[in-house]
Structure 1
Amino acid sequence: MVNIFTIALLSTFVFVGTNNFLLVQIVTAQPVKQVNQARPINSAVKIYPANNNLPASRLITIESAIKKSSNMRITEAKLITYQEFTAQTGAYTSAISSNRMVWIVTGFVLGELRMSKGRSICTNNAKLVELIDAETGDTFGRSIYCLPSNQINFLP
């Protein structure tokens, strides 16, 4: 009987001691600084401010713009403001200032045009229009136009 009483008393002592220890830890604990804080959704979006007042020496050359589009036969390359581009196409991105200088590079891809996953979208003479930032050389986008007779439809 003494053994059961001693074991019960010892168990109670350990339980109470542990609870007191944890309670002291909770009350005196300092807040933990979060290392990987969540970023706002828009924080990864790069903003391109106006640069139409920069001298031509600060912009990439036509040769550099064409080199970025080396996989096509170039038919036209022109330097315009983003506002002129949006007026022509209707496309608009708020992260790009309307007074940002851009290169519009137009050309054709002879033969079959394949996308990054290997799917082809056009069997011959796809027309490509690339929008390239004139200051940084970043590519803003690419439009692909394919004649209906050369277009490959992937939808079932």
Structure 2
Amino acid sequence: MANIFTITLLSAFVFASTTNLLLVQTATAQPVQIKKPTNSGVQIYPANNKLSASRLISIESAIKNSSNMRITEAKLTTYSDFAAQTGLYKSSISNDRMVWIVTGFVVGELRMSRGRSVCTDNAKIVRVIDAETGDAFGNSIYCPPNNEINVMQIPQTH
């Protein structure tokens, strides 16, 4: 009889201790951090539209690399506003990311890097600059009608 009582008491003690340990572990456990795989070659730009203006780059910083163009507009806006106007969306940039849109013209001939065309005069350039980091998201170049020439058709002189 004493053995049954001892075994029952011991079982109850083990059950109570195990339950108590599990409850303490559950209450004090830290959430598990699951890291999503990322493509190390792609920079992700999260939303930053809640940042104060003091944390964003100035208009002077946004236009500093635009010395070759006559600037007609520099506008601070969200990436979604820019993308809605142009239809150009990048999945690595949040729609709520603040960007500078710098627009201007280059007087005279403009050769596009790695491109095969030349704009003979008044190329319109639209630059998209990240308003927090100053990173360039891209340039669009538009040539007025009859001012774009295909370099492949220009005779090469040797």
Same fold (TM > 0.5): yes
**Cα distance in 2 for residues equivalent to 1:119 and 1:86:** 26
Flag the 1:117–1:81 CA change in 2: closer, same or farther, 3 A. Answer: closer
Return the letter of the residue paired with 1:100: R
Cα pair 1:112 1:120 within 8 Å, conserved: no
| Secondary structure, counterpart of 1:64 in structure 2 | helix
Partner of 1:97: 94
Partner of 1:81: 78
Which of 130, 143, 153 is the aligned partner of 1:133? 130
Which of 61, 64, 68 is the aligned partner of 1:64? 61
Cα pair 1:132 1:138 within 8 Å, conserved: yes
Gaps of 5+ in 1: 1-39
**Percentage identity across aligned positions?**
74
Aligned residues: 117
Q: 1:56-84 CA deviation, whole Å, 9 max, x = no partner? A: 01100011111122211000000000011
Q: Cα offset for 1:43?
A: 2.1
Partner of 1:106: 103
Gaps of 5+ in 2: 1-36, 154-158
Partner of 1:26: none
The range that moved more, 73-82 or 41-50, is 41-50
Q: Which is richer in helix?
A: 1
For 1:1-156, what aligned pairs fall within 5 Å after superposition? 42-116=39-113, 121-155=118-152
